[in-house]
Structure formats: structure tokens, C-alpha cells
Structure 1
Amino acid sequence: MTVEVNLGDGGKAVEAVRNELVADGAPAALAAGDPGLWGPKARSEAEIRLGWLNLPLTSRELLPEITKLVEKAQAEGLDHVVLAGMGGSSLAPEVICATQDVPLTVLDTTDPHQVRRALAAPIERTLVVVSSKSGGTIETDSHRRIYEKAFRDAGLDPAEHMVIVTDPGSPLEQAAIEAGYQVVLADPNVGGRYSALSAFGLVPSALAGADVRSLLDEAAAVQPLLEGAEGNPGLDLGVLLGAHALHGRDKLVLRDAASDIIGLPDWIEQLIAESTGKEGKGILPVVGADAAEADDQYVVSIGPDGAAAVDGPLGAQFLVWEYATAVAGRVLGINPFDQPNVAESKENTTAILEESGDGPLPAGTPILTDGPVEVYGEVPGDPKNLADVLTWLLRAISERGYLAIMAYLDREAAFDAAPVGESSFEEMTETWAGADVATLRALLDYRTDHAVTFGWGPRFLHSTGQYHKGGPAAGVFLQITGAVTDDVEVPGRPYTLGRLQLAQALGDLRALASRGRPAVRLHLTDRVAGVRHLLSVAEEL
């Protein structure tokens, strides 16, 4: 495992931070699990959140249980594995399975169209892993209820098709036991975003066909390096992250072009943004950019190439980035284990649903309509069309600010534009990009030197959502919602997925508006035509 760092102009500042940490004995203290490293206010939280340091060893105790689950699923022909989980419960398994090229359907969405895609698979061959520390996560609870009904409607016993991963003593554990479900208990002393090597990362990945033992071996191989002051990749990386942020370079551009690992920046994004974005401080990960363009940005590459690069196998990467994030928290003087602002949007969502009852949600009135796109929000200067709105958003970014695009849509919809096998891979890729709302990030990034991020809602609420509200007050926000044409009922709840999805979007806008941050919502009255129109307007800016 290597971390190659070219300190450049910031070399002296970074070296000074490193020397201070070493003089304080921080590397050895962290490796030993000292909860006092982040100050007295963080101590009580840190005391119950450092179990991730030992997961390369302690998670091996799960392997016999996981092996039995895998053998049982194979014997029963359950080869379509669906993971219902949010944030730390879904991002690591997605990276693991993509890297090892095994199929896993991840449901970290409330978009009814995306959920229907998953439900369209042969239900008799489906195994659902419900992952949640408490079971109270509204998205995961909805998925569980929907699949329980789907299994019963098909004449199947949900207990034969569901595995529950949760913390000991959680409400979900009790409910699962009463329902006769298979339950795997995770380490309660590990927070969600640090749980890649825990049951939350290993169980769904193994059921999908991944070799999870190798992940633990890779992490165990690098673990001894994290105890010392020299040759410690976690320390080197953590110092780089923290020192840059202290000196105003707080936008971390993550690149993985030369890596065999697929999708790791999405996992890193949640780990760093949710861990550091609080008290007006933080590090904003930027996924998808080709290079740093402004002086508040720098690039770290996953793989062997780059001025600053983190090279090593996936299991080691997980542990090193977690260690580095904890170090960066120490440097910034924040608690890297809490998420004080995440609950705000959840509470707003609940309030909006309760306030609205059976009536329409408070979506407001559009200030203008441009083809299949309605515009909501306050945009000065009497905008005439969508181009005016996008131009204003780009100009509203402050000198050290950023633009965040947040899309509450089906993240797999673009694949409908070009069925696999009907044209060359290059042609399919081009067609998919032209139908993918995520392409908007690159189009707007091309037109500004400032950082532009993209997140799928409500997935990002468990990731950069903390940074948006708790980090530096420097964000400009573009939210995108879409008309629902094929909704999904949530059994036992007074809302559909489509209604919940819109309430989540409006709830997050309410949280941003309470901070006076520039925010616009675009609503696509026709999703396919709306994405096409939005991208064409952005291309012409």
C-alpha cells in the first residue's frame, strides 16, 4: 500500500501539520483507539465509534455465518440480490461488487421508477438484504415493506427471501426476529460511513458473489503500517487532507481513471463530506472532475498515477481512507464521527408529509416554464428562460464556493436510451450520456472554474447533505425533480414513494433556504424530454 504525495507549494504547511501530529503521538494513539484525540466534546461519541480500527480482525468472526448464508442462497436458487440500504449501508457494497464484477441491485432511492426496475426481476429468485443500524431509515423501511408485500403477493414467504443486517438490540433486530427473518448483527461501535469492512459491507457483497475474505486480508496487511509515524499511508493522506483544508484548499478532486477499483470516489465522498462538513468547516469531495481548476482545489488519484495518489487493493483503501479521515478531523478540530445536520432534512420531510395530510405537497408556483422544465425558486433579474437561470446559478457561486446539483430521479433511466447490444459500446456510451441528467455536472463544470458536484437524491442526503448544511456557507444549489408516471404504494404508510421523494426534495430545500443559500428547483414535467432539453440548454450556454 503506497501513498505518493507531491506537496508542491503547500509542502511546508503540510509538513508542519505532520510534525505536530507526530510530536503529539497521534498516529499511535489513533491506532490504539484513543477516544480523546478529537477533544472532550467528541469523546463520548468517539468511545463508541472506533470499532472500525479492528474490523480486519473482528469481522473474520462473521465469515462462517456469511458462508452459510451464501450456501443457503445458492441452494435455493436466489441469485438476484437486492440491497436495501442508505449511505454507509449501500456505498461500500456497491464498490465491492462493481470492482469484483458481481451483480448487485442497490436500492438507495425513493424514486418509484427505479424501485419498479428492481421489482421487475424474477421475484422467486430474489434475495433482499435490508441493511440499517436501527431500521428507522425511512427509505430502507419503505423498501422492506414493498418487498414483503411483493413476496406475499407472489405466494412466497418473505422470511425465505430476506436477510436483515442491523445492530444488536435495534428495533429492526426485534422486528426481524419476530418475523422469522435471518439476522446478521453488526459491530455497534462502528458508524455507518466507517462500516465498509463490517457486516454492512460484507454480507450483501458475499451474497452477490464477492470474495470478502480477501478484503479483510488486504486491510489486515496494511494495518500494521497505521501504527507508526513513518511509512504510514493513513497519516500521510490524513495530513494532506487536513492541512490543505486549513489553508483554504478545501475542495478534494477525486480521480480513479488509472485504477482497477470501480466507484471508490463515491464511497470516499460520503466518508469525508459527512465526517468533516460541520461547524462551518469541512472538505468537499468532488467526483467526476478531470482536474483541479481553482486555487481552492487539488487532486488525489486512486491508483498509481498522479502527483498525489493512493495506490493499493480495495480492502486496504477502505481502512486507509477511514484512518485518514479521522486524522483530518483531528487537524480541523471537529468530531469526525457525528452528523449533526443530517436529521434536519429528515425532520423537514416528516413535517411536510404531516402538514399536507392527504392534500398536495407545498411545491409552490413556478416562476417560469421552459418547455418540459418548470423553474421554482427566487432568481433575481427577471429570468426569461432556463438558460438565464443556469447562467445566474453559475454567477452566484462565490470566490471559494461551489455548485451542487441534486437530482431526485431514476439513476438508471439513461440506459433505456440505448439497449445493450444494438450498437457499438462507444455509440451506446454516447447515447447514454446524452440521456443522463448526471451529464449536466460536466457541462456546467466546463463553464466555471469553481467546483461542481452531483448527487442522486435522497442518496446524497446521507453523504454530502451534511456538508451542504454544516460545512462552509459557500454552496449554490440546483435541485432537479421529475413527474411520476408509475408510482409505488408503501404498505402500511400514508404515502407513496413518489410522494415521499418529493417531500424529501422539498424538505432539503427548506433546510437550505433557512440558511439563506441560493437554491433553485427544476421540475421535469416529462422526464426524458426534460433531461434532453436541460442538457441541450447547458451545452449552449
Structure 2
Amino acid sequence: MAATPTYVTIAEERLAEQTAETIQRLVSEGVHEALANGDPTLWGEDAQAEAAVRLGWLSLPLTSRELLPEIGKLVERARAEGLDHVVLAGMGGSSLAPEVICNTADVPLTVLDTTDPHQVRRALADRLDRTVVVVASKSGGTVETDSHRRVYEKAFRDAGIDPAGRIVVVTDPGSPLEQAAIEAGYPVILADPNVGGRYSALSAFGLVPSALAGADVEKLLDDAAEVRPLLARAEGNPGLDLGAALGAAALAGRDKLVLEDSMSEINGLPDWIEQLVAESTGKSAKGILPVVGADPNETDDELVAGIESGGAVTVSGPLGAQFLIWEYATAIAGRVLGIDPFNQPNVTESKENTGALLAAGELPADTPALVEGPVEVYGAEAEGAKDLREVLTRLLQAIPENGYMAIMAYLDREAAFDAPVADGASFDDMTDAWSAADPLTLRGLLAARTDRPVTFGWGPRFLHSTGQYHKGGPQNGVFLQITGANEGDLEVPGKPYTLGRLQLAQALGDQGALVKRGRPAVRLHLTDRAAGVAHLLAAAREL
């Protein structure tokens, strides 16, 4: 079978000129070949040490093949034991790629990248007797993933199931998780330590859960290997073309990257690109802001990039190739922008704030600036507001001319599907019911009332993604947090906190990091989640 062609097209004349000029400069400096050969000096002296241990992703299309026999044995064992419910406990780079791979392959995967007790309980209640859990953490100390492991270990034991037959660990060599897994008797697949989390799509982190779920991961590697030789070329190099376009556009002020995939058979790639680009470029008050699930506003600071579909830039090719092209392009864009695309200096700040809050005992209980039905409103920007509509209006008006709004919901992202639907309802009716109960609907309602980008992230998932950009990128964001009361919290075995307490501490910790930077930040707390979402959406419709 002939390989699917992979290429980048640029539809705008001025952008094509800017891209060509940038490529010419990069090629004259030998950047294309140097990157393909893994040269860690490309991003400056300060970045060299980090880059020296972060370029292993370039060879994954070949080196990851060594994992296939071991992964194949895991899959065979799971099939033989009837374990057909695959749960992935992982955050950021450990979960976003497998989610795209499995959605595109149309195979089921339950992703736990949350500390919401309702969402975790939902997963626990689903076919525990047929569940295999992949615990994936590069560092081995990710608090969310550690909590999931502890919760599932207890659930398995309570059900009379030996966790050693149900938990698979993916981590870096020498991590505390590797040692814990060995002691517990869990199968361990070690990832390449020279690959950063957001560049790990083609590593064990992407392959193990996807293969267990039923995706053809060998085909993924084949497609990436097909495009790999192109990345050393001066011409016909899709990674160089895309990276130069992203970097040149951002330098020209087009730093809002609207990702469009409506015509693509690849399902959900913009969510993965969002983390890769935002966390890699959003630092030193610079960066490219990916905007997912939104229509373009046709403003001067937008660049529309399409996956197999029209945009100023269009990237065509199969999923494995797309992963490698976007990784190479992001590294190139980092060179053009003058930043280190491999570090994440501001991610730890919110983690440290969360840890301090948990260590202090009871979480701080502030007085709300406003209470309207099932919604409590916290934050200086809400002081003196007469109602929720005024709060939302103030936030929209506070967005700078070149800024954006970020909505961050620390809630159960599956809860909308619990919305009551009448017997015999059509699919359109069901979709309307789900939309009316979904916090994500707020993004579209607020976006319709501004020409500035409105992004949406589920917390704490976004902390491992756009959270770096929020704090390290251009300081022109306005932030709206949504938290909710927990009915039926969940203990984290062996820890002095529950999932609900951890979740709220994460929200408060991140809010503190944003407020410290003087950015407008409001938290809406839903004392009744379902009623609170309905009330919030009703207020937004009235703006």
C-alpha cells in the first residue's frame, strides 16, 4: 500500500513570503539538519543542558519498535483474561496522545486526567472486574496519577482482585514509580528518559495504553518513520515549513493559533497540539496560544491552522506523521522565537502552591463577593457587582486588545451525559440536552460576545498543558475558574487528603499564581453542580 503523503500548504501570499524568508535564514544556519541530527545547541547556551536530554523523540519512530514485542505480550494477556476496559491514569503528555490515538482508531479508552471525585467514581463503577489500569507518569511522582493508583489498588483489593494482575506501569528508568511497581509486582515498561512528556506521543506513554485499547500502534510508527527522512531536508520538509510559518507568524503578531480539524479523519489532534505548543512556547512573556474548538474571529493576531482542512496553514498526513511534524515544527518555532521549547519553568509554581495549601490543613475559606442562587463568586474583579451577568461582562471587558480569556473548569467532564433525556428523543434532542448541561458550552456563549479568543480547559488537566502559557506567556489573559461542591468525596488511601480537597487546592493554588501576576481572575463555585451549570449558562445567554 502506498504511503499517505504528508505535506504543509500555506494559502496566504504574505505568510508564504514570511515563511520562505524564515526558512532561508534557518537553512543558511544549518538548523534543519542540525535539528534532525539532535543538536542541543540550537536554542542557546542556557537551553543546551535541557535540550541535550530532550531530543530522543526524533528517533522514536525507530527505537519504539523495540517495545512492540513486550507490548504485544501485555495485550495478549489482557485479551486472554477478558480485560477489555482500559483505564489510563496519566496527565498531560501521558494522556493526551493516547486519547487522540484511540479516538482516531475508534477504540474505547477511559482517560483519568482529573482529580474530580465524581469522574473517578464514574470510572471505578465501570466494569471493574474487566478493568486493566495503565499508570503512566514520567517523573513517577505526579500527584494526580499517584492518587489514581492508590484509589484503584484499594478498589481492586476490596473486590477481591489482586492489583498485580490489573495494573501496568509506564515510567522513566529510576523513577520512584518504577521502584514501587517492582515491589508491588506490576509489569513495568520503561520509556526513553531523553523524551519530554509533551513530546512522548510515539514513546511507551503513547503506545502502551493505545495498544491495550486496540489501536494499531505499529502503523503509527510506520507513518512517523515514513516522514522522518524528510526532516533533514532544506526543501520538502513539512516540519521546517510548519515551524517557520508558526514562528514567522508569531513574530509578526499572529500569535493566536486557531486549530481547525472539522474535515479530518484524525479525531482530537488539536487538544494534543494545544499542550505541545502552549507549554513549549509560553514562557519569558512570549508564546503562541493555541485556540481549540473555536471559530476564527478574523482578527489581525490570528493564524488558522487546519488539520487536513483549509486554513492559512494546512497540515496533511496520517496521525503518526502529524505527531512528528508538529514536534519538529514546535522545536523550530522555539528557535525562531528565541525560547527553549523543552523546559516548563512555571508549571511547578501552581504545584508548589497546591502542596503548601494541603500541608497547611484546612483550605482557606474566603467570603464570596457575590452569591446568586447556586453560584458563589470569588475574586477582586467581582467586588460590588450586582449579579453574575455583571461579573461576566466585567471579565469580557477586561480582556486586553491583544489578549484572551481562559475558562478553567475543575469539574467532571462526563457529567453532562447524565442530563435527563426524554424517551424516544432524537440524537439532536439528546445533543441539545447534553449541551445545556455542559460547562464547555460557556466557551461558545462568551466567545460570541467578544472578538478575542476564549479558551477552555478542564482542571487540573490544563495545568499540565496551557497552565505554563497562562503564567509564563504574554501577560494578557483574563481567567475564569469554575469549581463545584462534591457530593460523595473519595479518600486517597495513604494520604491525608481526599480527591475533592486536592482538586480545590489545585484550583486555589493556580488562582494564587495568576493573582500574583496581577491578572483578572474570578472563581465561580457551584454549590449544586447541575443547577449551577444551568444558572451560569442562563446568565451568559443574557449578556
Compute the TM-score of the two structures, normalised by the length of structure 1.
0.98
| 1:100 is the counterpart of 2:105 | yes
| 1:317 is the counterpart of 2:322 | yes
Contact 2:285–2:475 (CA<8 Å) still a contact in 1? yes
Q: 1:178 to 1:5 in 2, by over 3 A?
A: same
* Residue of 226, 238, 241 corresponding to 1:236: 241
Quote the residue 1:216 is aligned against. Answer: 221
Paired residue type of 1:432: W
1:427: how far off?
1.5
1:66 and 1:418 mapped to 2: Cα distance? 41
1:454 and 1:345 mapped to 2: Cα distance? 18
1:170 and 1:273 mapped to 2: Cα distance? 26
| 1:286 is the counterpart of 2:291 | yes
Contact 2:10–2:16 (CA<8 Å) still a contact in 1? no
2:191 and 2:46 mapped to 1: Cα distance? 26
Contact 1:363–1:506 (CA<8 Å) still a contact in 2? no
Q: 1:115 to 1:381 in 2, by over 3 A?
A: closer
* Residue of 336, 340, 347 corresponding to 1:342: 347
* Residue of 511, 514, 523 corresponding to 2:513: 511
Paired residue type of 1:50: L
SS at match of 1:36: coil
1:370: how far off?
1.2
Equivalent residues in 2 for 1:363-382, closer than 5 Å: 363-379=365-381, 382=384
Contact 1:238–1:325 (CA<8 Å) still a contact in 2? yes
Equivalent residues in 2 for 1:144-183, closer than 5 Å: 144-183=149-188
2:503 and 2:376 mapped to 1: Cα distance? 17
Q: Deviations over 1:189-211 (max 9, x none)?
A: 00000000000000000001111
Paired residue type of 2:206: G
Paired residue type of 1:525: T
Q: Deviations over 1:8-36 (max 9, x none)?
A: 43443333222111110111111011111
* Residue of 337, 340, 347 corresponding to 1:332: 337
SS at match of 2:170: strand
Q: 1:172 to 1:421 in 2, by over 3 A?
A: farther
2:88 and 2:538 mapped to 1: Cα distance? 35
2:202 and 2:442 mapped to 1: Cα distance? 33
1:436: how far off?
0.5
Question: In percent, how many aligned pairs have the same letter?
Answer: 72
SS at match of 1:369: strand
SS at match of 2:517: coil
Choose 439-448 or 3-12, whichever is displaced more: 3-12
Quote the residue 2:443 is aligned against. Answer: 441
1:434 and 1:8 mapped to 2: Cα distance? 42
* Residue of 48, 56, 63 corresponding to 1:51: 56
2:126 and 2:192 mapped to 1: Cα distance? 32
Contact 1:7–1:14 (CA<8 Å) still a contact in 2? no
Quote the residue 1:118 is aligned against. Answer: 123
| 1:37 is the counterpart of 2:42 | yes
SS at match of 2:22: helix
Paired residue type of 2:306: S
Quote the residue 2:529 is aligned against. Answer: 527
1:17 and 1:292 mapped to 2: Cα distance? 26
1:119 and 1:180 mapped to 2: Cα distance? 22
Choose 505-514 or 375-384, whichever is displaced more: 375-384
SS at match of 2:381: coil
Contact 2:260–2:309 (CA<8 Å) still a contact in 1? no
Q: 1:339 to 1:420 in 2, by over 3 A?
A: farther
* Residue of 384, 387, 396 corresponding to 1:385: 387
Quote the residue 1:408 is aligned against. Answer: 410
Q: Deviations over 1:162-182 (max 9, x none)?
A: 000001111111110011100
1:387 and 1:131 mapped to 2: Cα distance? 41
1:213 and 1:419 mapped to 2: Cα distance? 41
Contact 2:369–2:383 (CA<8 Å) still a contact in 1? no
2:32 and 2:420 mapped to 1: Cα distance? 51
1:6: how far off?
1.9
Q: Deviations over 1:275-317 (max 9, x none)?
A: 0000010000000112243211120011143342111110000
* Residue of 466, 469, 477 corresponding to 1:467: 469
Paired residue type of 2:231: L
Contact 2:15–2:245 (CA<8 Å) still a contact in 1? no
1:493 and 1:415 mapped to 2: Cα distance? 31
1:77 and 1:421 mapped to 2: Cα distance? 33
Paired residue type of 1:516: G
2:175 and 2:225 mapped to 1: Cα distance? 29
1:475: how far off?
0.4
2:256 and 2:190 mapped to 1: Cα distance? 36
Contact 2:257–2:305 (CA<8 Å) still a contact in 1? yes
SS at match of 1:35: coil
Choose 381-390 or 102-111, whichever is displaced more: 381-390
SS at match of 2:406: strand
| 1:91 is the counterpart of 2:93 | no
Q: 1:478 to 1:257 in 2, by over 3 A?
A: same
Contact 2:370–2:382 (CA<8 Å) still a contact in 1? no
The number of equivalent residue pairs is: 538
1:168 and 1:512 mapped to 2: Cα distance? 34
1:313 and 1:422 mapped to 2: Cα distance? 38
2:421 and 2:326 mapped to 1: Cα distance? 37
Quote the residue 1:497 is aligned against. Answer: 499
SS at match of 2:341: coil
Q: 1:458 to 1:498 in 2, by over 3 A?
A: same
1:421: how far off?
8.1
1:62 and 1:135 mapped to 2: Cα distance? 20
Contact 1:225–1:233 (CA<8 Å) still a contact in 2? yes
SS at match of 1:406: strand
1:474 and 1:305 mapped to 2: Cα distance? 28
Equivalent residues in 2 for 1:133-152, closer than 5 Å: 133-152=138-157
Contact 1:483–1:524 (CA<8 Å) still a contact in 2? yes
Q: Deviations over 1:205-260 (max 9, x none)?
A: 00011110000001011111111010111111101111111111110000100000
Paired residue type of 2:406: A
Contact 2:90–2:137 (CA<8 Å) still a contact in 1? yes
2:78 and 2:539 mapped to 1: Cα distance? 48
2:266 and 2:16 mapped to 1: Cα distance? 29
2:310 and 2:379 mapped to 1: Cα distance? 43
Quote the residue 2:272 is aligned against. Answer: 267
Q: Which runs of 5+ in 2 are unaligned?
A: 1-5
Paired residue type of 1:505: A
Quote the residue 1:185 is aligned against. Answer: 190
1:494: how far off?
0.4
Q: Deviations over 1:458-483 (max 9, x none)?
A: 00000000000000010000000001
1:315 and 1:436 mapped to 2: Cα distance? 31
SS at match of 2:513: helix
1:135: how far off?
1.5
Contact 1:48–1:190 (CA<8 Å) still a contact in 2? yes
* Residue of 334, 353, 357 corresponding to 1:352: 357
Contact 1:78–1:127 (CA<8 Å) still a contact in 2? yes
Compute the TM-score of the two structures, normalised by the length of structure 2.
0.98
1:454 and 1:122 mapped to 2: Cα distance? 30
2:472 and 2:311 mapped to 1: Cα distance? 31
SS at match of 2:42: helix
Contact 1:293–1:450 (CA<8 Å) still a contact in 2? no
SS at match of 2:9: strand
